[in-house]
Amino acid sequence: MTDKTLIPPSPSEDEYVRQVAAAEPPPLLAETDPYQLFDSWLQEALAKEPNDANAMAVATVDETGMPDVRMVLLKDVDARGFVFYTNLESAKGRQLAGQPKAALLFHWKSLRRQVRVRGTVTPVSAEEADAYFATRARPTQIGAWASDQSRPLPDRLALEKRIAEAGLRFGLGKVPRPPHWSGFRVAPETIEFWRDRPFRLHERLVFEAAEGGWTTHRLFP
């Protein structure tokens, strides 16, 4: 059993009052361009988060409808959506091939902010995947060839052997992108921005994709 003393208690009223006194209430989030707002939050996170400000949880479902979630790194974002890369034969790759929908969650703890994204998923182009793969460090390129991601590994030695074999295969030459490795783009149907406020009275602003732009509404915390 988990030691319950390890779980912090809810803040007291005095602690909330100190939070209020420590900072002026920020202006309400702007209901204009969600990508512009996301970019500004990501820039702040890059300056304050100690590790991987571009980390996000990716949630998918398998063929039985059972949900699955894992952390990956955002590698591109523009008006078309949010991009990440993976082994297409991994659990998430297989799940997205069967059910091309996903939810993303960015949580920037130091900023007390979250961004939630839900949308449809499409593969990136081969040209996009090739261009990104070429920027990866050579050991990670070798690893993409060596790893049967999400499948059983008999022991660590088996992985190290596969890495050594892939290294010998390519020698000092260019490492091409494996055919089983590419990326996915999540085209948002909704993007929710969540900002912490005292007494759990958080601010929640939702953008919903609409013909020619976005509609917005706010949610109770």
> If you search the block for the tokens 């949010």, which residue do you land on?
82
Beta bridge partners of 193: 115, 205
Angstrom CA distances, 125 to 77, 95, 129, 178, 179, stand at 15, 19, 6, 14, 12
Angstrom CA distances, 79 to 34, 58, 167, 185, 217, stand at 9, 19, 38, 11, 20
Tell me whether residue 200 is one of the annotated catalytic residues: yes
CB 129 within 8 A of CB 86: no
- The rounded distance, in Å, linking the Cα atoms of 212 and 114 is 26
Q: Which candidate in 18, 151, 169, 200 is catalytic? A: 200
Let me know if 148 is exposed, middle or buried by CB neighbors in 10 A (0-12, 13-18, 19+).
middle
- The rounded distance, in Å, linking the Cα atoms of 117 and 157 is 39
Active-site annotation, residues: 200
